[in-house]
Structure 1
Amino acid sequence: MSRWNRTHAALQQSALRLFQDQGYDATGTAQIAADAGVSEVTLFRHFPTKASLLLDDPFDPRIAAAVRDRPRSEAALTAVVEAVRATWQTLDPDTVEQLRTRLRLVASTPSLRAAARGDDTPTIDALTSALRARDVEDAEARVVATAVVAGLGAALLAWSRTEASSLDAAVGRALDAMGGR
């Protein structure tokens, strides 16, 4: 793992632990940086905002690649839904539990819920670009990407609030609904 990646992960781990212990609003970026053993300037080189420590989405590149790799004969919506499904199924249990913890913090913090709604643009752009690489017209690509991101976001927040279902089951039900199953 590169130094950049180690620092990035250390910042996210410190932030997650401190946010859980003290609450999101009571935790400052200087405290997170100090806990991770770096300067606050370094923190902001990795994350443009405090919220991005939780909202940074490492799955976008993987899902976009999976969309590009889907059969060209699939409709745009099917390609995105099945790419998301395939990507989520590859997550290890530790990643799933960390995701649930991050999303619980988002769901329970009003300022983070608002930030999360505004933070969908990079994911929508990544999916739109992947669909455009499949020769899907731009307007259709953006509508499909936006619809899937909105539906997946709602399913993930609902999943984070419960222990009752697995990520695979919660995401699968949402993707089935979006895919018309």
Structure 2
Amino acid sequence: MSAPSPAGATGPAAAGLRERKKARTRRAIQDHALRLFAEHGYDNTTVERIAEAAEVSPSTFFRYFPTKEDLLLRDEYDPLLAEAFRAQPSHLPPLAALRAAFRAVTEEAGDADLESALTRVRLAMAVPAARARTLENLLSMMDVLAGVAAERAGADPRSPAVRVFAGSVLGALLPVMVTWVECDGRTPLADLVDEALTLLSEGLPV
């Protein structure tokens, strides 16, 4: 019997195919949105125009991005970072493991991905509605980091030590994003993150 075609695939293969298709659609919507924002401005670009450019319906757009601001705040890096953090050797201290995970994820990203991320960060800082949603995004990332840190240490993710660790990391990353935008991406993001987490590990010698 011949192997089933992708259209008739079932089980993990079909699930993987669906996820890849979703990722391509999500990326296409986001890419078209960033292009339109550059051409017409954020406020002048409607969801309908983005959906038309990406050749999807507005209802499909909203399945991937509940609001227009989510185009700037949502990406695939949080789960990738969590996976890379989890994969680091168990003997590494949390900050050292996280530094290695950040570098692995940022260096794996292509130039186009990093340029897209830089554009989104720049817009997120400039668009009031996106800035207002940033706290929600940071809290979500804090939960992700706390969960993996607790898993590695065999600790409670709600414990003060774990939550302070995750919150401290996010506090260190905020000025990294500001600096990355200010230097227009000329300094690699991996280097900026590495410097910030090194300072954090050294007790912020100022």
Task: Say whether the fold is shared (TM-score over 0.5).
Answer: yes
1:96-115 map, 5 Å: 96-115=114-133
- Number of paired residues? 181
Q: Which amino acid aligns with 1:68?
A: R
Q: CA deviation at 1:75?
A: 2.9
Residue number in structure 2 paired with 1:167: 189
Give the direction of change, closer, same or farther, for the CA distance of 1:46–1:39 in structure 2 (3 Å limit). same
Report matched runs for 1:146-157 at 5 Å. Answer: 146-157=167-178
Does the alignment pair 1:180 with 2:202?
yes
Question: Cα 1:60–1:84, aligned 2, differ >3 Å: closer, same or farther?
Answer: same
Larger mean CA deviation between 143-152 and 161-170 belongs to 161-170
Which structure is higher in RCO with an 8 Å CA cutoff and minimum separation 6? Answer: 1
2:75 corresponds to: 57
Matches of 1:144 and 1:133, distance apart in 2: 13
1:13-162 alignment, distance < 5 Å:
13-134=31-152, 135-138=154-157, 139=159, 140-162=161-183
Identify unmatched segments of 5+ residues in structure 2: 1-16
Q: Distance in 2 between matches of 1:119 and 1:47?
A: 14
- Deviation of 1:56 after TM superposition, in Å, equals 0.6
TM-score by length of 2: 0.78
Amino acid in structure 1 at the alignment position of 2:103: R
Q: Do the aligned residues in 1 keep the contact of 2:95 with 2:197 (CA within 8 Å)?
A: no
| Off by >6 Å, runs of 4+ in structure 1 | none
RMSD in angstroms over aligned alpha carbons?
Answer: 2.0
Gapped regions of structure 1 (runs ≥ 5): none
Q: What's the secondary structure of 1:89's corresponding residue?
A: helix
Hey, what's the Cα distance between the residues in 1 that align with 2:115 and 2:197?
20
